[in-house]
Structure 1
Amino acid sequence: MSEIYPGIASSAQQASNIKHPIPLQRRFQTFADIWLPRLVLSPTILLSLIFVYGFIGFTAYLSLTPSRLMPNYTYTGFGQYAALFDIDRWWVSATNLGIFGGLFILICLGVGLLLAIFLDQKIRAEGALRAIYLYPMALSFIVTGAAWKWILNPGLGLEKMVHAWGFPNFSMDWLVNSDMAIYTVVIAGVWQSSGFVMALFLAGLRGVDDSIIKAAMVDGASLPTIYRRIVIPALRPVFFSVLLVLSHIAIKSFDLVMALTAGGPGTSTDVPAIFMYQFSFTRGQLGLGAASAMMMLATVLAVLVPLIYLETKEARRAS
């Protein structure tokens, strides 16, 4: 047949040759779909494992050594932790963190939720107001601390301005008052972060089904009742995210405190992040600083793990 119809034979052979690359292409495409994302992400994952978790492990080991100015890899157990707990300044900084963190989180939650509910009423100039409320989050904590340091300075800011208005008895000396200085850090932190919390809550509010709200209004429920009984409970995942973010901000509040009060007056605004920095890098107590850093990590985990557990449990119950 090939001798009689050579054209047909050559065409059939070409057709058979064309079919072979198709499985190869599919195999290559499958390989690319599976392995290409892994190859692209592997450097980032590897660097994260080294420079995040690797250094966490390195810090944990240093906290079990007598390291001072330079690392000393001799294992000595939990002596650094015992020494840490014997230092009064550590407990002062931990107490300050509890005051700052508790007030900061609660006030940011309240202010952010109220602002989100206010903007959720579809008022005029909503976009401009949202931008104004969000603007402080665009600033660094160093800038925020410096700005509020000027505002709350008795000789430069708010107190001097009110005196110039004719109220000489007005006093706002919290920045230099050791009993009130920690609350100035709370004010600056809330001013910076409440707009961000508002944005998260506003996104959650816009995701609530309008039909449920309309049905409740038809049944005669007032707007405060609708928000209290229907809308706010529906924001549980948003509350979870906000608590995680605010807890993280509160625990690592080094730059805000340093710019605003530098831990003073005295140690009245000292926090564990400042304690860790000073003992590790200015006092030559590297092992003690590592122990304080691990206690900060334990604080983060103490907040994070229960929240993740509760959220996972609720998600399983809902499913």
Structure 2
Amino acid sequence: MASVHSTAEPDFRTKLQDWLPKLVLSPSVAAMVVFVYGFIVYTIYLSFTDSKMLPSYDWVGFKNYATLFGLSAWSTALVNLAVFASLYIVICMAIGLLLAIFLDQKIRGESVLRPIYLYPMALSFIVTGTAWKWFLDPGIGLEHTMHLWGWESFKFGWIKDRNMAIYTLVIAAVWQSSGFVMAMFLAGLRGIDNEMLKAAQIDGASNWQLYRRIVIPLLRPAFMSAFVILAHLAIKSYDLVIALTGGGPGRATELPATFMYSYTFTRNQMGVGAASAVIMLMGVAAVMVPYIYSELKEKK
């Protein structure tokens, strides 16, 4: 009897150990299924309905999508996104790579410089947008300070200029994200085999050839990860725009995320707003799905 009892007890403990993580994680999984994927499906459904201020379940097919792409405001938002995202991604990658190469030279003070470069990423985009709004405001920021110092001819009113306001978003976003990209590239650089680099140097490779033919190609996973993260941040940018420019002047800095919010909650066009949210979701999926597929393919 004792042997039967001792055998049954380990079986119970084994089952408990197997089920305990599932029981602990099940509320989080259920909440994610309902509040993330459930609301995604609900939003997709609303995009095919005649929803205005409140949800409606009158099916209208692709009418909201036709209305959406007929709006000049949506076209402006897409053009602004193309400008903002392309400059944001390219500049962040360039600065991040240069900073990573700089820190990889085992310079003095690396332990101090690294957190300084990373610190902006610890701030929310609301804080970043508010700080840069003050800095770029001609009445209280950089231009005003230069005038107080005697440079009366100095002008920097991009934030008030319809043609230049979109670039203030790029400046603020690059300032916040470049340090994070630097950390990704620095991790990639530290993972490269030094013996390979030494062998190339012995063969007479210059530093330029070393980075162009060996180091940068080996950083392909870091480039891909940085691109995916920056692209999805650009597509869903909302809080930075609201804090820095409010989408203005006019619609000069309107992005799809701010368009979606205004049409859903301000203009009471929930169906059109849901349609714009679905288009944004498709944009994020267009970036994420190929990346996930390539990662899974490499693991196999």
Tell me the TM-score range normalised by the shorter chain: over 0.9
**SS of corresponding position for 1:232:** helix
Paired AA for residue 175 in structure 1:
I
Secondary structure at the residue paired with 1:36?
A: helix
Distance 2:104 2:22 in 1: 42
**How much identity, in percent, do the aligned residues show?**
57
1:189 corresponds in structure 2 to: 173
Q: TM-score, normalised by structure 1?
A: 0.90
Within the candidate set 193, 204, 214, 1:220 is matched to: 204
The answer (yes or no) to whether the contact 1:276–1:290 under 8 Å persists in 2 is yes
Check whether the contact 2:232–2:287 (CA below 8 A) recurs between aligned residues: no
- Aligned-pair Cα RMSD in Å: 1.4
Residue equivalent to 1:258 = 242
Q: Deviations over 1:130-160 (max 9, x none)?
A: 1111111111111111111111111211112
Give unmatched runs, 5+ long, in structure 2. none
Question: What residue is the counterpart of 2:25 in the other structure?
Answer: 41
Q: Indicate which of 260, 279, 284 corresponds to 2:268.
A: 284
Contact 1:240 1:311 in 2 (8 A): no
Q: Work out whether 1:102 is the aligned partner of 2:86.
A: yes
- 1:267 equivalent among 251, 258, 262: 251
Aligned match of 1:22: 6
Partner of residue 235 from structure 1, selected from 219, 225, 231:
219
Q: 1:152-190 CA deviation, whole Å, 9 max, x = no partner?
A: 111211112222333222211100000000000000000
- Residue 133 of structure 1: which of 117, 124, 129 is its match? 117
Does residue 143 (structure 1) correspond to residue 132 (structure 2)? The answer is no
| Partner residue, 1:14 | none
1:167-178 equivalences in 2 (<5 Å): 167-178=151-162
Q: Once the two structures are superposed, what CA deviation does each residue of 1:186-215 show, in whole Å capped at 9, x if it has no partner?
A: 000000000011111111111111111122
Unaligned runs of 5+ in 1: 1-16
TM-score, normalisation: structure 2: 0.96
For 1:290, give the aligned amino acid: A
> What per-residue deviation string (whole Å, max 9, x for no partner) do you get for residues 276-296 of structure 1?
101111111111110110011
| One-letter amino acid matched to 2:56 | N
Q: Tell me how many residue pairs correspond in the alignment.
A: 300
Q: Find the partner of 1:113 among 70, 89, 97.
A: 97
Aligned to 2:59: 75
Distance 2:220 2:5 in 1: 54
1:8 paired residue number? none
SS of residue in 1 equivalent to 2:219: helix
Structure 1 consecutive aligned stretches of length 4 or more whose deviation exceeds 6 Å: none
The answer as to whether partners of 1:134 and 1:196 remain within 8 angstroms in 2 is yes
Bigger shift: residues 231-240 or 137-146: 231-240
Are residues 1:308 and 2:295 paired? Answer: no
Query: d(CA) in 2 for partners of 1:311 and 1:30?
Result: 33
